[in-house]
Structure 1
Amino acid sequence: MKKALVLVVLALTFNAAAQDYKGHYGIGLALGEPSGFSIKKFNNNNEAFQYTLGYSAVSGQEGINIGADYLRHNYEIITAEKGRIPFYYGGGIHLKSYNDAGNQLYARVPLGVAYEAADFPFDVFFEFAPGIAVLPSPSLVTNFAIGARFYFDVRKAVEKIDEAI
């Protein structure tokens, strides 16, 4: 039964329209500062929320990082014959909990570029995000990442699982 549910969910993800992520969730991994999980939820074709849960491994600043960003996508700057290449930008807030002691709260401005595959609900991205820490004291922060996400429609997946049960 569990195998059947997994197969149904996987089949749904392959049926998702690769070019229309509206209402879909992208789940993947990012490597960089911080490295960890990346979740992206498109509200419409140009706006999305991005959530991250990662680990910062910079010497002396190791710790867990959690954050949320609001992103706008521009598909007109870079074009591709197949797929799409949006430039994206936005603003966000992140909290870093140091292993040794203390927390850091900072605002950041993510700037990135992604490649959205034409025939598969998948993207790869590079992101640079300068920021300013406001707690415990003002300081500059730099985040960067390269990663990939797989997109699926949660509502369709839940419906199919309900039907299978």
Structure 2
Amino acid sequence: MFLLDVTHAFDDAILRRLSSKDDWYIWADYLYHFRSLITVEQGELPVYLGIGGRLKLQESNEDKFGIRFPVGLAYEFAGVPVDVFLEVVPIWDVALSYDFDLEGGFGVRFYF
């Protein structure tokens, strides 16, 4: 994740699906962090909202491009450029195929 300041960030990823299919996901999101909603003793626990795009390249040639709307919660460790996050992401596919997806995830992000 690339931090513009304490409130604004860009998050992007490229990943390959870990199954028998050769599917690839590429996305980039703008994230806005609400830092004062939840307070913790150490670190920070911001809620974030965002908007972005996703390209889903599928082995079955049913490729999709969609608009992402990530909503999440991230624990940011004090003094370390790392967070642990949990998010839900509605996606509206608007090109190559028309569909609505609801994805989610959890993981670790490094800040730049």
Is the shorter-chain TM-score for this pair beyond 0.5, marking a shared fold? yes
Partner of 2:98: 138
TM-score normalised according to structure 1 size: 0.62
In structure 2, the residue matched to 1:24 is none
1:50 partner letter = D
The structure that has the greater radius of gyration is 1
Counterpart of 2:5 in structure 1 is 44
Q: CA deviation at 1:56?
A: 3.7
The yes-or-no answer on 1:98 pairing with 2:58 is yes
**Equivalent pairs: percent with the same residue?**
35
State yes or no: 1:54 paired with 2:20: no
1:58: how far off?
7.7
- 1:108 to partner: Cα distance: 1.2
CA distance in 1, matches of 2:25, 2:53: 11
Indicate yes or no: 2:41 matched with 1:81.
Answer: yes
Alignment RMSD: 1.9
Q: Give 5+ residue unaligned stretches, structure 2.
A: none
Measure, in 2, the Cα distance between the counterparts of 1:122 and 1:90. Answer: 19
Instruction: Within 5 Å, give how 1:146-161 maps onto structure 2.
Output: 146-151=106-111
**Distance in 1 of aligned mates of 2:108 and 2:98:** 32
Structure scoring higher RCO (CA < 8 A, sep ≥ 6) equals: 1
Deviations 1:98-144 (A, max 9, x none): 01213100001000100001143321001110011112232111221
Equivalent AA in structure 1 for residue 59 of structure 2 = N
Q: How far apart, in 1, do the equivalents of 2:31 and 2:19 lie?
A: 26
Count of aligned positions: 112
User: Per the alignment, in what secondary structure is the counterpart of residue 65 of structure 1?
Assistant: strand
| Partner Cα distance (2:79, 2:53) in 1 | 33
Normalized per residue, the structure richer in helix is 1
TM-score between the two structures when normalised by the length of structure 2: 0.89
Q: 1:114 aligns with which of 74, 77, 84?
A: 74
Q: Which runs of 5+ in 1 are unaligned?
A: 1-39, 153-165
